[in-house]
């Protein structure tokens, strides 16, 4: 029974923050400032998730060394995407660089 209460409660906690602004805000238009601020939220959240995983792979200290496969793989993805604008190719090459660095430094 407590599992169902937990599932219902989590569903409610997920549903209400998405539904209430639609109901309360209605058909009103957002101000240009609000649109600008809300437009910056997805890149900020993505950066907040990716950068710590990339720079602190062990969870203890920042690692800028060439032995950090997360950093080198990410740099490869960013550079290749900047040059080619092909996301799938960039991601594939980034994964290859990640595993190549791990293999080269014996972390596999």
The per-residue pLDDT for 1 is 78
Domain boundaries, the chain: 32-104
Angle of CA points 72, 94, 76, to nearest 5°: 50
pLDDT for residue 30: 84
Torsion of CA 52, 53, 57, 59, to 10 degrees: 50
Residue 59: predicted pLDDT: 86
pLDDT tens for the 108 residues of the chain, in order:
799 999 999 999 999 999 998 888 878 888 999 999 999 999 999 999 999 999 998 889 999 999 999 999 999 999 999 999 999 999 999 999 999 999 999 876
How far apart, in whole angstroms, are the C-alpha atoms of residue 60 and residue 66? 17
């Amino acid at each position: 029974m407590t599992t169902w209460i937990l599932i219902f409660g989590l569903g409610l906690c997920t549903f209400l923050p998405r539904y209430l602004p639609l109901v309360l805000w209605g058909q009103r238009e957002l101000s240009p400032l609000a649109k600008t601020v809300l437009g910056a939220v997805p890149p900020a959240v993505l950066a907040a998730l990716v950068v710590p995983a990339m720079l602190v792979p062990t969870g203890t200290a920042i690692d800028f060394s060439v032995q950090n496969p997360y950093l080198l793989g990410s740099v490869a993805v960013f550079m290749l995407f900047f040059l080619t604008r092909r996301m799938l190719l960039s991601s594939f090459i980034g994964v290859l660089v990640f595993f190549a660095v791990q293999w080269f430094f014996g972390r596999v």
